[in-house]
Each structure stands twice: as structure tokens, then as C-alpha cells.
Amino acid sequence: MAPPGALGFIGLGVMGEPMCANLARRSGLPVAAFDLDAAPLARLHGLAVRACASVAEVAGHADCVFLSLPGAVEVEAVCRDLAAGRGRTRTIVDMSTSAVAATRRIAAELARAGIELVDAPVARTRAAAQSGTLLIMVGGGDAAFRALEPLLGCMGSDVVHCGPVGSGQAVKILNNMVLFMTGQALAEAFVIGERAGVGRARLAEALARGSADSFALRNHGVKAMVPGEFPRKAFPTAYALKDIRLALELARDCGVDARGAGLTAERLQEAVAAGFGADYWPVLVKLVAGAGTDPE
């Protein structure tokens, strides 16, 4: 795979907009972008990002197009539009989180149209997207990884080649599964601790010095669960539920009884049903606090 000469970016949401900004700022290559919302396109104008009116217009300008979309349904629709546009695009890098089987099926369809799909989902927070310090997990061939690594490095500080196409999605899904399961454990610990007379901040400080320390504790626990702040312009509970369901789907495909992840999925479903679907997913702690029973 030859290094691309012009880039595209489709999907400028909470994560996509800062990722596109860093790609444009650091790569030195022209970037054509599209989103259904005109606001992020206007904000990126100062970075010389070309605002496009359609997916087909992006395909006409970009050798390599990056996607940051809600899920596999949107990814498949955009990939078909890129292929149907008969533009210059020969590589699509899907940075969304999608099912492994769907990713591999879409890759096969695109290959018949002469387009290579590489999956490169991201992990870490919105702040990491803004600072360009994301973890990026890549599924694709060796040559494609070598060609894309410098571009992905514009958006992430850690770029890991996980294996053939679909492998990046597998690693991302499992990463999120462990994160949400840890988040559920933290939510339960904070509520139990409070009712036992130990405040959340003090418990978090103690846990961070022991074997329970984790990225989830220091970020989702300390920065969200302890102060009780669950903004809506962050990773919502509904997205967390979608991701852990992808993990359960992968587990079933692999013949694994992932019952721990199943319990976390049930708790996330309860949070969505309780009206927390748009809130930052550590809001689980509110659900646990409301669902608990007072000791006799």
C-alpha cells in the first residue's frame, strides 16, 4: 500500500472532530471532511479542512478516508457510498467500534471494489482525543499498517497492530468489556463504602494505593463517580451498552460463557431504562445507589 497523498474524514462527533483536527494539524496533508452537522465543519475551517457536502464528494478528494461513526450500520452505509462514488479512495480506516464479523464482511465487500478496509478503533477519553494521545488498535495487513502508522500517530500516542482485519475491533471490544465490568465493581464499592461510613473520595484514594488501582478508578471513578458528574457530551451509557453487547456477541461466536460481562450488560440496560442513556456511563453509580437496600 502506497502512502496516501490526500485524506478524508467522515464523522465529526465528540471524538471524531478532535481526531480530524489533529490529523489535519500534524499530517501536513489536505483533509476533506463530511458530517451531517455543519457546526464541526465550520470549526475545522481554520485548520484548512475542506468541508464537503456528501460522502461522494469526500471520495472525490481523498485517497484514504477515516471514519468515526456510531456503529456498523452507519459504517456499512458510508463504505457503500464511498465505493459507489467511484472516486479516488482506495483505503478506508474505520475508527468506529463495530462487530468483528460485520467488519470482516464489509472488508470482503470493499475488496471486490478494489478498496482496502483497515479497522482502527480507539480507546481512552475525549481529553485524549483532543490531545492526540489515544490508544489505537489496528486490524489489517502488515503493509497497510506500516503505511498508516504515521497518520494514526497524529491522533494517538499508542498505535498497536493487533493482527488481520477485524482484530482491532476484537481488542477494542474486549478492552471496553473489562472497563465497564471494572466500572460496575467501582460503582458498587463506592455505594457500599458510603453506607459503611467511608466517603467516596477517601475510598478512591485508598484503593489507588493498593491492588485495586486501575485506569478506570483514576479516571472514571475519581473524575466522575466521586464528584457525581456525568456530562452528556461524553461517552454515554447507551454506547457502553452497545459495546458490551458486541463483546457478548463475540463471546458467543467464540463459544465462551461470559456471564460476568452479561451481568454488567444487565446493569447498563437498567441504567438506560432508568433514563440515564445519554449520561456519561459512570452514572452506573447512581443506579447502584438507587437500587440498593438499606441495612436493617
**Per-residue model confidence as pLDDT tens for the chain (296 residues):** 666 789 999 999 999 999 999 999 999 999 999 999 999 999 999 898 999 999 999 999 999 999 999 989 999 999 999 999 888 999 999 999 999 999 999 999 999 999 999 999 999 988 999 999 999 999 999 999 999 999 999 999 999 999 999 999 999 999 999 999 999 999 999 999 999 999 999 999 999 999 999 999 999 999 999 999 999 988 999 999 999 999 999 999 999 999 999 999 999 999 999 999 999 999 999 999 996 444 43
CA–CA distance, 199 with 256 (Å, rounded to integer)? 38
Q: Is residue 133 part of a domain?
A: yes
CA distance to 56, 77, 78, 237, per residue, from 84 (Å):
8, 11, 10, 34
Q: Is residue 1 part of a domain?
A: no
| Domain-terminating residue out of 115, 139, 163 | 163
Give the residue numbers spanning the domain of 53: 7-163
The owner of cell 478503533 is: 121
Q: Which residues are catalytic?
A: 172
- Report the predicted TM-score, pTM, of the whole model to 2 decimal places: 0.91
- Please report the pLDDT score of residue 125 as a whole number: 85
Q: How many domains does the chain have?
A: 2
CATH code: domain of residue 69: 3.40.50.720
Task: Clarify whether residues 204 and 62 are in a common domain.
Answer: no
Task: Clarify whether residues 209 and 234 are in a common domain.
Answer: yes
Task: Clarify whether residues 11 and 154 are in a common domain.
Answer: yes
